[in-house]
């Protein structure tokens, strides 16, 4: 990867051997390895050691989970907040695991729509809840630094499964909790 970064620097018209750039290929390789570490993590294993049987079927909501990801189209960052709600069906998960799931999927080359769906799908698969809702609000630097250049604009995506999809009142309650401040 370092050699490829050197080639990119040359293609940009830079001298990769000048003082300020000598260690840049190594730094970029380390940064990209860190920013894409989600490929090395199994989301199912993140949950498995923290599933608990509990007689609880009321909504659980975790809001404002900060995340950072890389747009797969431009390799530029997008970042924001993920909000997760689920209605357990005799299984709950340790609350830190919801944030860890967001990180596992965010630390891959992504599009926001897929990220939202992946989080909702793994929760449905592993917890078998009555329903799950995931809302992600993000700012995309590919939109703010290049292209249309609209800093501060955000994109909102949602994925709803189970009872949240089938029952409008339940979905509205979840969305109210997810967006309340």
14 and 88 inside one domain = no
pLDDT of residue 43: 95
Q: DSSP letter at 65?
A: E
Tens of pLDDT, residues 88-115? 999 999 999 999 999 999 999 999 999 9
| Statement to judge: residues 30 and 90 lie in one domain | no
- Is residue 138 domain-shared with residue 154, that is, in the same domain? yes
Q: What is the pLDDT of residue 164?
A: 96
Which CATH number do you get for residue 95? 3.30.1130.10
What residues make up the domain containing 18?
Answer: 2-35
11 and 74, same structural domain? no
Strands (E), the chain: 51-53, 60-71, 77-87, 91-93, 109-110, 131-140, 155-162
Q: What is the pTM of this model?
A: 0.95
The residues annotated as belonging to the active site are 71-74, 112, 140, 142
Beta bridge partners of 51: 93
DSSP-derived 3-state class of residue 97: helix
Q: Are residues 27 and 74 in the same domain?
A: no
Per-residue pLDDT averaged across 62-73, rounded?
Answer: 97
51 and 120, same domain (yes or no): yes
Express each pLDDT in 117-173 by its tens digit. Answer: 999 999 999 999 999 999 999 999 999 999 889 999 999 999 999 999 999 999 999
pLDDT above 70 covers a percentage of the chain that reads 99
Q: Are 155 and 137 in contact (CB under 8 A)?
A: yes
> Do residues 87 and 134 both lie within one domain?
yes
**What's the CA gap between 28 and 101, in Å, rounded?**
25
Provide the token pair at 148: 């249309």
Per-residue pLDDT at 180:
78
Contacts of 23 (CB under 8 A, 6+ apart): none
Strand-strand pairing, 155-162 and 91-93: unpaired
Residue 153: per-residue pLDDT: 93
| Residues 109 and 159 occupy one common structural domain | yes
25/86 same-domain check = no
Burial class (CB in 10 A: 0-12, 13-18, 19+), 45: exposed
Query: Which token pair is 96?
Result: 């830190």
The answer to whether residues 119 and 150 belong to one domain is yes
How many independent structural domains does the chain possess?
Answer: 2
| Edge-first strand listing for the sheet containing 77-87 | 109-110, 60-71, 77-87, 131-140, 155-162
Q: Judge if 26 and 78 occupy the same domain.
A: no
Give the range among 20-29, 40-49, 77-86 with minimum mean pLDDT: 40-49
Contact present, 174 and 133 (Cβ < 8 Å):
yes
Q: Is the pLDDT of residue 181 over 80?
A: no
**Same domain flag for 61 and 85:** yes
CA distances from 129 to 2, 69, 97, 173 (A): 44, 27, 15, 16
pLDDT at residue 93, rounded to an integer? 96
Joined together, the tokens standing for residue 69 give 């990801």
Q: What is the pLDDT of residue 122?
A: 97
């Amino acid at each position: 990867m370092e050699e490829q970064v050197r080639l990119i620097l040359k293609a940009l018209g830079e001298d990769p051997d000048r003082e300020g750039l000598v260690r840049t290929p190594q730094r970029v390789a380390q940064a990209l390895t860190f920013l894409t570490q989600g490929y090395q993590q199994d989301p199912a294993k993140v949950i498995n050691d923290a599933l608990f049987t509990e007689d609880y079927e009321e909504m659980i909501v975790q809001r404002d989970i900060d995340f950072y990801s890389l747009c797969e189209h431009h390799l530029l960052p997008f970042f924001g907040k993920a909000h997760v709600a689920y209605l357990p069906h005799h299984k709950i998960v340790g609350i830190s695991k919801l944030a860890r799931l967001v990180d596992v999927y965010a630390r891959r080359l992504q599009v926001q729509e897929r990220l939202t769906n992946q989080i909702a799908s793994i929760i449905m698969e592993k917890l078998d809840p009555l329903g799950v809702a995931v809302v992600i609000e993000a700012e995309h630097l590919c939109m703010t630094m290049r292209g249309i250049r609209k800093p501060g604009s955000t994109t909102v995506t949602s994925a709803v499964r189970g009872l949240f999809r089938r029952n409008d009142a339940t979905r509205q309650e979840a969305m109210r909790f997810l967006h309340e401040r």
